[in-house]
Structure 1
Amino acid sequence: TVISLGKLGPIGEKLNLLNVDVVALNFPRGGLPSIVGFINFLSIIRTRKPRILQGWMYHGNIAVTIASFFMLPRPKVYWNIRQSLGPLEYERNLTRKLIRLGVLLSRIPNAIIYNSRVSAEQHSNIGYCKKREQYIPNGFDISQFRPDKSVREKVRRNLEISDKTILVGHIARFHPKKDHRTFFTAAKKVVDASSDVIFLAVGRDVERENEDLWQHIEELGLQNSVILLGEKSLVSDIYCALDLFVNSSMWGEGFSNSIGEAMATGLYCIATDVGESKRLLGETGKIIAPGDFSGL
């Protein structure tokens, strides 16, 4: 069973198609659930009688820890932490509080699973229990993410981009930590120096209807040099069409899926020194400081 504290979302829909038991509680984003909502959450878990409760990020980790005390026999509890730490003032108010609460509760779970060694060290430094620490890196299906010339030609044809045009990609949801602003500010400097470059951005809310994003692009005069595709369920084809991949995260990156996917597709990557990115890229890409649009 998978329980979403928020909406079902595209991943929940995918899991439903695989006949996975998915329940969406629709708790308010950035806020605490009502008493009725929390009782419903406990009722759902108790009727399933799980032997293991696995949380996913801070909200889910705290939720399953609390729920475990209302169950007999008490199930094993595992936390998943999949981001590195930036300045806590960058996080939402509730997330900041849950990160700090996690310090106090971190000896309760049977293990805390990190996908980044950097993240594990950062959390240990602020008081998370080191004895519970487990490191499991992300994995990638290299039969899905691989270079494919025919796919490259097809995607570029659909986008009306010639094979000679340099296509630079950025795949991330729209969020301050992903720092689209630095990416497009750097793009402006590149376009000023070379006209035969197109910047392709993919991710939730990365679309013209996003007024904040599109206004920034217009202010930079990049309307004719940028393609925004929004959220896509299948991105492997998009990587094939690219010549260069950029991850411009300002903070919070744990083990970047997009960097690993781009590398598996044979792309040279430029990434900020956040989370596991430097160790992941090694000698196969370029690392820059977060927020450094000139360096980018």
Structure 2
Amino acid sequence: MRRNRLLREGVRSDAEVVATGELAPPHQKEHPFTLRYFSPDGTVHHRTFTSGFRGIVPRPGWTVRVAFDPAAPDDVEIIDNPHLGPLPGTPALPPPKRALTLLHTYGLTVYAAVLVVLAVPFAIIDSDPAAPLMSAPFIVPALFAVDRFWLSERHLRKGLWTDPAQTQGVVTHCWAMRGRRGTYYPIIVEFPLPDGRIFRGGVPSDSSYAPSGIGQVKPVVYHPADPTIAYAGTPETLRGGASFMSVISLILLALLTALGIGPLVLTLLLALIYAF
């Protein structure tokens, strides 16, 4: 909503990268940068961003397109970053379909409204109005699985599984974190792109439960249409892990959908039978 407001009412301008900061993992896993942009009256503004290049190292002199509120120039949004494009000769990723965008943005809101609507008949017939809410823990993960694992990332699976770009990356940072399965070791890798851009950011790894040495060289695969989507490992380990997770996701999706939608459908049927 904020972005749409700035696009509709704000001032659009080219902004220049004038400074680049350092990484500070685990909280800052991409380079912060400072943009300089101008109001229509010539007033100069500076704003520091902690994200916006998704791992591509910004260089002073690069320009991006921004929109900002002239009454509050610090309220600024990057609306076009040409430095995040595909490799030369590779078609760009297609824009997400509107239905997927709506599901991602408003899915939980619509779900909450459905629960309320289905709870009304139970309240009217003096039954348990909380009955439809019993399925909430099941449908929410099902919606997330549909949106995240199956629909929104089809192009990611295609680009990374079937025809990934391959290179060698150097580990620049590694740190320990506690997880449910024990201690794991996220990494930041750096690798060059064929067009001269440099990627330096956090990526998933095929050996995240073993520490990596600073300066260690790892094979890296990345999406040719979006080089910010990368994985530290070989295509074989990526496909193996992704295939396993896809099967698990589909099984969970089927189970959660059955457990979640079942009570809601039953609730609606009972309400209709009582009404007629």
- For the criterion TM > 0.5, the same-fold answer is no
Could you say which structure has the greater relative contact order, defined with CA pairs below 8 angstroms and 6 or more residues apart?
Answer: 2
User: Which protein shows a greater Rg?
Assistant: 2
Higher strand share: 2
TM-score, length basis structure 1: 0.23
Give me the TM-score of the superposition, normalised by structure 2: 0.24
